Structure 1
Amino acid sequence: MYSKNNDFGKYFLHVIAAVRIGYKKYYSTLTFSIDPGKKLGLMVFLDDYYLDSYCCFEKSDFFAIIHKYITIFEEENPTLMKLNFKLGRGVLDITYDLVKQIYIMFQNRKYLRVCLIDEFKSSQFKLPKNTIGKKFTKDEISALILAFRFGIDVRFDNYDDIFNQLRMKKIFIKKTKTEQSKNHDEPLLSLDEVVEKVLSGKLTLSNAIEIINANNA
């Protein structure tokens, strides 16, 4: 319950989480999907459900946002949350700087995953309809498409080497087809339908990844 002693921003985020995901005393996982560039598209998932999105004009804005989410949802939580970062690698220098800063901030965490994603055609997707009442920038939608993809996991002790190999084109990340796919538990869904269901809270990120990538198995 909100009181004058509580920070309204914190209260508001908990209300959004309760509406979109369901009330929990403690949440366990935050996933941040990022489309790096002159502007940074950011999609935030809480316990595998879409929570919110942003278009950040400065890297400082991006880090302020993720710090806010982590601080608010870890408050009074007896355990540290699992943090997942999925970053597009279209502009390697920007992505490298983000990964470096992420590890400076969170390298001592036990549950930290950083993944580099191929940005192939991610910015070309256009949202055909919007049923949740929020306007999304192309950077935010690109970040959402990246969240659906597999990539290369990097660690604190190897990310420098992996970026060097990417710069020398010694590592190739498989491009993911995102037209449509079929899963034995789900009817045929187009990418448009998957996006709409994720944004409306009818589909988890994990289920979306499974559906979209089923035809690449």
Structure 2
Amino acid sequence: MESLIFVVTENPKFFFKLNKGLLKYKIRFKILNLGERIPNIKSIILTTKEELKSLGEFNQNKSLVIPYEKDNGFKEYILNVLTAYKLGDLNFKSLAFSIDPGTKRFGLCVFVNDYFLNSHTVFNKGDLINKLTLYLKAINIYKEKGEEIKYNFKIGRGMGVLSTTKAILKGIFSLFDQLENVDIFLVDESKSSKIQIYDNGKRFPKHEASALILALRKGIKVEQENYIEKINKIKKKQIGREDFLQQKQEIIYLNKNKTDFEDLFRQIISADISISDSIRFIIQHSKQVSQIS
């Protein structure tokens, strides 16, 4: 799904920051002179708002232009470039986060339109909320006026980190208080840290891998009015056990069939398969394995 990128600018500061940002995400690009004709192929054109009028001819049906405006912030700009690069456009329908709370580190995975976009390891709740705020600001720059976006959270609810989960929820409810279409789920973390994931021979960061696995599970829906009550019930083991039992076979499948999952994982982080399709894949194959055994 990745698109070819053309950088068209004579602004040295913009180019320096853009080059650094694209290198961070290992995004290759080609430099074109301002005014040079853009090749008639599917592509993304990166330039500044001031240089838009000086762009060469290009096919508007094949090329997506993403102009940089100083007032919008460069970090937000790069995230939108990453989104367009991986998904092919900036037509936002949903923004989802899966969070693995830890005692010292948190794992965070970000999904746009049901496809994996990015992941982070953060070190405290404040850093986590800042990351969420950054993505929220980035998506608001290019979304159409009046366009409805669905927001989804899946947050780990391990017994040892419930107080941390509670603090995260408080921050999320404050951040997303004015938004509609927000669904939040507390997800069983059982065995999520036991699954090691490798991408091209390199181990994916532990907490980010756990966050990705949480994105593939169901959970208990909570709202601002009842999240404290439901967390207390989880502590007392009055709710939550049924989630684990329902997904037990899928958890066993992922632990025993690491080769299958690593292949699926590579497709997920390359945005070649959606999270919904990944969940269906896991359910289907875990049932097949169960029937065989």
Structure 2 matches for 1:51-200, cutoff 5 A? 51-77=117-143, 78=145, 79-90=147-158, 91-128=161-198, 130-131=199-200, 136-173=204-241, 174-175=243-244, 176=247, 177-180=250-253, 190-200=260-270
Which ranges of structure 2 fall in alignment gaps of 5 or more residues? 1-45, 49-67, 288-293
Amino acid at match of 1:101: G
Q: Within 1, Cα distance between the matches of 2:202 and 2:99?
A: 19
Q: Within 1, Cα distance between the matches of 2:100 and 2:237?
A: 20
- Give the TM-score of the pair, scaled to structure 2: 0.65
Q: Within 1, Cα distance between the matches of 2:209 and 2:280?
A: 19
Q: Within 1, Cα distance between the matches of 2:202 and 2:172?
A: 28
Match of 2:93 in 1: 28
Give 1:107 deviation, angstroms: 2.9
CA-to-partner distance for each residue in 1:102-134, whole Å, 9 max, x for gaps? Answer: 112213322001000000010011113x14x98
Match of 2:281 in 1: 211
Q: Is the 8 A contact 2:152 2:183 kept in 1?
A: yes
Larger Rg: 2
Give 1:15 deviation, angstroms: 1.6
Match of 1:186 in 2: none
What is the Cα-based RMSD across aligned positions, in Å?
2.2
Q: Is the 8 A contact 1:2 1:11 kept in 2?
A: no
Which one has the bigger helix percentage?
2
Give 1:139 deviation, angstroms: 0.4
Q: Within 2, Cα distance between the matches of 1:121 and 1:171?
A: 19
1:17 aligned onto 2:83: yes
Give 1:135 deviation, angstroms: 6.0
Q: Is the 8 A contact 1:85 1:113 kept in 2?
A: yes
Tell me the number of residue pairs that the alignment of Structure 1 and Structure 2 aligns: 207
